Amino acid sequence: APLPPGPPADPLIGHIRLIPPDDQGDVVHLKVLNKTLIILNSVEAAVELLDKRSMNNSGRPALPVYNLLGTGESFAFMEYGKKYRTERRLVQQYLSKAKAKEHRPIQTREARILVQKFLLEHDQNHADLLLRLSAAIIIEISYGNQIFSSDDPYLKIADDACMSTALSVQYFPSWFPGTHYAYYARSMRPKIEALKNYPVARLQEEILAAQEEIDAVIGAQRLPEFHDREQLPYIECLLQEVLRYMLTPNLIHLLLLMNVADGIKHYPQVR
């Protein structure tokens, strides 16, 4: 079947060595060894194939490393089928836009605990405190267990599992199936570390403007609430930018049924 246009490839290994930076179009194909990858380069293409035609494109490729680590049955990596549809309904039931408002008291409480820890626990790593915030909210919404201390067994299990998985994947060779990103991630780490502090040091005026808006609208007698967002347009813009800046992880989809995109047919087993 004809494939979308793609950059020039090497014999046998395809595009594994080099992907040209120039724009190749909305729908592009790449060849990595014996695998054909379809890259969606625009919002329109992504909405058309992953949203409007999600029934055809909701499969997940087999990733042996996740099965070895015991995470192959997690919702993110589960193959499309009856079990996946059942779990998706459960997720939508509790994480829909309307239902999410019911979780605001948990988010508010944990956010205030975070601020308190920032002020009182000067020796604590801020990144660790932010991770605790996320874990506490997720664990309480998922299991109904409120986190009261860093010794909580739910928190310890989650932390140990994440650390074990991360360390295990870290030491797999980059050519191992499902861990091809490992080499790239390791090479980018110094740049990501530098990126954490440099922009913040240049945003002192913006941080001051945000504080001034909170002081003007909220005052010094209480902390902001969710219902204050409409009166805090500058804070809302900062919030949206923070959420936009960190992109959602892009999980590979596996084509289940034949599609036509840009007039070109795509068949199953194309990723």
Mean pLDDT, to the nearest integer, of 149-166?
Answer: 76
10 part of a folded domain: yes
Residues 52 and 1 in one domain: yes
13 part of a folded domain: yes
For residue 194, what pLDDT is reported? Answer: 74
140 part of a folded domain: no
261 part of a folded domain: yes
Q: How confident is the model at residue 252 (pLDDT cuts 50, 70, 90)?
A: confident
38 touches 18 (CB < 8 A): no
194 part of a folded domain: no
Considering its fold, how many domains does the chain have in total? 2
Residues 43 and 55 in one domain: yes
Number of Cβ within 10 Å of residue 15's Cβ equals: 19
Residues 1 and 49 in one domain: yes
Residues 208 and 234 in one domain: yes
Whether the predicted pLDDT of 55 surpasses 80: no
For residue 137, what pLDDT is reported? Answer: 94
80 touches 60 (CB < 8 A): yes
Strands (E), 5-148: 27-32, 35-40
The domain in which residue 53 lies consists of 1-59+253-271
Question: Among residues 54, 55, 42, which one has the least CA distance to residue 262?
Answer: 42
Tens of pLDDT along 204-217?
899 999 999 999 99
Q: For residue 40, give the 3-state DSSP assignment.
A: strand
150 part of a folded domain: no
The two tokens of residue 82 are 């009856």
Tens of pLDDT along 23-47?
667 787 777 777 777 777 778 887 8
Residues 14 and 38 in one domain: yes
Residues 217 and 261 in one domain: no
* Contacts of residue 62, Cβ cutoff 8 Å, sequence gap at least 6: 79
Residues 241 and 220 in one domain: yes
Q: Is 163 exposed, middle or buried (0-12, 13-18, 19+ CB in 10 A)?
A: exposed
Q: How confident is the model at residue 183 (pLDDT cuts 50, 70, 90)?
A: low
For residue 91, what pLDDT is reported? Answer: 84
4 part of a folded domain: yes
260 part of a folded domain: yes
The amino acid present at 69, given as its one-letter code, is: L
**pTM reported for the whole predicted model:** 0.67
Whether the predicted pLDDT of 266 surpasses 60: no
Please give the mean pLDDT across all residues of the chain. Answer: 76
